[in-house]
Amino acid sequence: MNKLKICLAGASGWAGSALARGISDADDMELVAAISRSHAGKTLGEVIGVQGLNTPIFASVEDALKTDPDVFVEYTKPDVAKSHVLSALKSGAYVVIGTSGLSVKDYDEINKVAQEVNRGVLAVGNFALTAVLLQKFAEMAAKYIPHWEIIDYAHAEKKDAPSGTARELANRLSNIQEAKLEVPLEEVEGPKESRGARLQGTQVHSIRLPGYIISVDAIFGMPDQKLILRHEAGSSAEPYVSGALLAIREVSNLVGLHRGLDSVMKF
Ligand SMILES: NC(=O)c1ccc[n+]([C@@H]2O[C@H](COP(=O)([O-])OP(=O)(O)OC[C@H]3O[C@@H](n4cnc5c(N)ncnc54)[C@H](OP(=O)(O)O)[C@@H]3O)[C@@H](O)[C@H]2O)c1
């Protein structure tokens, strides 16, 4: 069996190193290249403490892509993610995006290039199965309840806001309908920002405080009743690994941009 050749950008990071361990344990995959500026020139095994993992680490995407990967995984930062992804697509790789913080405009551009080169991109704001289920339940709720808002919580150092999970959720709900506002934003008395950011038809509020771990509430309100769907992540990156491995295995069946792990799951 030919192993899938993977290039992982962000392999030394919190999420990327957990995924690198998962890929190195998988029988059907081979990690042919890793990207991390501060560890370039070393092997990934040395950096993340996995014996026998001799994957070379490169500082630049251009050098890493010379290893000719089948799938490129983007797990770095939003300011460089789009250019990494476009380079990978142009080199002929399929792409899985785990990085959060890309805009709708970024995704539109990525989709255009992916269609042009006839490759698939799977962008997943949250690879955890429980978060995928929250998205599905929220989509069901939005069909029946027209009023909702999203609150995303994270530790104080998280720079991107809203979180990838909240952005992806707003994107999905926009395919169902726009959340209704009883008081239009232009009629709000006081600072309009206190009503959150309007993202694809949903009000999204991002809390960034010490003491919080990553979680999200999708709140649906009806007269005299409400439904609160809540996802809470733990403190390790383990919950994201199996979903990311599934995305890597399935992305070559796609063409163009697809958002959400459920694009490749059966419900
Ligand atoms: N989709 C999901 O389920 C999921 C789950 C967890 C996290 N995330 C997202 O994944 C991203 C990474 O999170 P993290 O917590 O792992 O971050 P992190 O610990 O800071 O790791 C970032 C990684 O990216 C590399 N990097 C940073 N800037 C780079 C650049 N300009 N060029 C090349 N490599 C660069 C870093 O290595 P060097 O600094 O050495 O270059 C490091 O390996 C974030 O956007 C986060 O929100 C998504």
Q: Which residue has the tokens 């952005």?
A: 167
d(CA 167, CA 152): 10
24-51: pLDDT as tens digits:
999 999 999 999 999 999 999 999 999 9
Q: Is pLDDT of 1 > 80?
A: no
95-139: pLDDT as tens digits:
999 999 899 999 999 999 999 999 999 999 999 999 999 999 999
pLDDT, the chain, mean: 97
Q: Is pLDDT of 203 > 90?
A: yes
Q: How far is the CA of 132 from the centre of ligand 1 (A)?
A: 21
d(CA 218, CA 229): 5
Q: Summarize the confidence of residues 230-253 as an average pLDDT.
A: 96
Paired residues of 156 in beta bridges: none
Position in ligand 1 atom list of the atom nearest CA 126: 3
Coil, strand, or helix at residue 234?
A: coil
Q: How far is the CA of 52 from the centre of ligand 1 (A)?
A: 23
Question: Residues lining ligand 1, judged by CB closer than 6 Å?
Answer: 9-16, 35-39, 75-77, 80, 98-101, 124-127, 164, 237, 240
pLDDT score, position 267: 81
Q: How far is the CA of 186 from the centre of ligand 1 (A)?
A: 37
67-81: pLDDT as tens digits:
999 999 999 999 999
In the chain, how long is the greatest CA-to-CA distance? 64
Coil, strand, or helix at residue 124?
A: coil
pLDDT score, position 266: 84
Coil, strand, or helix at residue 206?
A: strand
Q: Is pLDDT of 231 > 80?
A: yes
